[in-house]
Chains A and B, each alone.
Chain A
């Protein structure tokens, strides 16, 4: 089941752009978003599978083409969307521009996801992905974002973006509210938290 999920991977060496993309991607139909500074960090994800949409500047793609092909060799389907950093440059069919408006970017990303063949069923809004469940499990046991990142070997950006997605899907924002949700959904055991102050 896991392999039919789609992931978006954004690779860009700018924190501002990554944070901005994370914000915009909350409006997209992706199951998981991974934010990276460098292509080489993909080596930390040896088990990538399913459908993957990669968003990165064209120059980064050209420099790392071999590495990327190698890493994605086991993935069901990969698609690239190039991030244009130059305001004046025209978009082609497979690029977005840093200066495009949000709705345009979201539409383009969703179209690309559809093209990958992962059209999402409606009504799955509060269903969490495997990775989101991992994050929720640790958050509801009281771990801080940094600790969650270390434990799951992902960046703190990714943790924050997962937490945002979790809150959006569940409608629960506070840490103690998420703990309560996790118990009710049997994501963690009541005994794990009953003696603590997590709720």
Chain B
């Protein structure tokens, strides 16, 4: 698959893959950019152009990963992107999916008790997901940011060591595969097994939203597992915190 370059027009990029829309929004970019290229837009909006390109290319091609390049980025910029992704899930995706599930069940005719299980399954998935996000926001990200500060300033280093004695990124790491599995199962159950006693158009909207979220979520996990965590290990080594 072709890779996007900084000389590409962003409008062309979106025509080629509209699922990138929420991704560019996370960088603060909004539509109406005329014929501006990626580079021009990044410069005017204060975005690191290499990071932007890596993120959209990683999003588009599951197998693409120029790990070397990505490891050059500061953890600050990666965490900022991940936080915006979390915000997008919590403030937009989940409420939207809740709304679609309401509609989906509301239009159910006949025997609908079983269809209600979709809501229960989804709620449990969401709860687990939010829990994961909270651990990252409240514990993992602050740890990484303090680690980074500690490397720059010897004063911070003492504070860091007393605060995080005994912690390291390995202890925070959590498998993403559980949640990936559940999201796949939910889609597959609707596609293969749920009695189709609902409005098919609403069913399609719900499924599209789940597909899109799944893609976004996998991409998010890839960035954490392949960029953030190796980067943090590198920092831990620098400060002498690897066991």
The interface of chain A, by Cβ under 8 A from chain B, is 126, 171-174, 176-177, 180-181, 183-185, 190, 197, 199
Contact = CB atoms under 8 A, between A and B. Distances in A.
Main secondary structure of the interface of B (DSSP, over half): helix
27 contacts: A171-B188, A172-B185, A173-B181, A173-B184, A173-B185, A174-B178, A174-B182, A176-B121, A176-B124, A176-B182, A176-B185, A177-B181, A177-B182, A177-B185, A177-B188, A180-B117, A180-B121, A180-B185, A181-B193, A183-B114, A183-B117, A184-B114, A184-B117, A184-B193, A184-B195, A190-B114, A199-B124
Interface in B174-218: 178, 181-182, 184-186, 188-189, 192-195
Nearest to B179: A174
B139 to A, nearest CB: 25
A197 B117 CA distance: 11
B16 interface: no
B121 A199 contact: yes
Nearest to B122: A199
Interface string B107-132: 00000011001001100100000000
Interface of B: 113-114, 117, 120-121, 124, 178, 181-182, 184-186, 188-189, 192-195
Nearest to B186: A177
Interface core residue of B182, B185, B192 (most chain A CB under 10 Å):
B185
B105 to A, nearest CB: 15
A171 B189 CA distance: 9
B117 A185 contact: no
Contact of A184 (B124, B181, B194): B194
Contacts of B114: 183-184, 190
B41 to A, nearest CB: 41
